[in-house]
Amino acid sequence: MVVQQGGLIVVGGGGGALGTAVVSRLAAAGRRVVVPTRHPGRSRPLPGATEIECDLDDLESVAQLRTAVEAMGAWEGMVSASGGYAGGRAHEVDDAAIEGQIAANLLGPWRLARAAAASMIAAGAGGRIVIVASRAAVDVARGQAAYQVSKAAVLRLAQVMAAELQGHGITVNTVLPGTMDTAANRESMPKANRASWISTDAVAAVIEWLLSDAAAAVTGAAIPAG
């Protein structure tokens, strides 16, 4: 199914380093962008985007987001570019870190994707859902237990949703970035060799393509980036 362009693209995590790059690309292409955020106006400027207050940890807030977006137009696409990182080995990491990683990397994206899918099904026009996971979802490394497990879970979530939503003309795909060249990563890894790091704009370009009609036949994919 070809999605009728002119609807809204909702970008979770739109105020972050990758999210800002996604919003910038979509806005430059003339797409209508909505960014759910806990604190509208407090993040970096997002030209071309409309911010709507939303806390993905609050189910009522997510329901209100869906209603607010539908009042503006149809959900044409959804991107989840939010998440967090905590280190620790599996036999040492505490419950707080595990629960925090599951909340940030799985439950938040799941709630946003659930709202998007429900709205797209109700509208009957198909749609695009893109969830950013990580290469850590498929590449095992020491010292990242909660992070890797939560990212692997969101990858499986996307694959399950792709199978379940295919009959509705809704594609669901994941992007698996390697280490991205962000200010936070430069600060936390000052001595790292950045030659293999990927720019946020390059990852955003993959996301933009997955939202386009050119990717209409692609669903259930996990696309490495960097």
Q: Which domain holds residue 21?
A: 8-84+112-137+151-225
Task: Determine phi and psi for 53, rounding to 5 degrees.
Answer: -65, 130
Say how far apart CA 132 and CA 203 lie, in whole Å: 9
Residue 99 lies in a domain: no
Residue 3 lies in a domain: no
| Structure confidence at residue 141 as a pLDDT band (50, 70, 90) | confident
Residue 144 lies in a domain: no
Residue 145 lies in a domain: no
> Each residue of 146-172: pLDDT tens digit?
999 999 999 999 999 999 999 999 999
Q: How many domains does the chain have?
A: 1
Residue 132 lies in a domain: yes
> Mean pLDDT, to the nearest integer, of 125-139?
93
Residue 221 lies in a domain: yes
Tokens 């497990």 sit on residue: 149
Q: Which residues contact 43 (CB under 8 A, 6 or more apart)?
A: 14, 15, 37, 51
Residue 196 lies in a domain: yes
CATH number of the domain encompassing residue 54: 3.40.50.720
Say how far apart CA 126 and CA 53 lie, in whole Å: 25
Residue 116 lies in a domain: yes
> Each residue of 5-38: pLDDT tens digit?
568 999 999 999 999 999 999 999 999 999 999 9
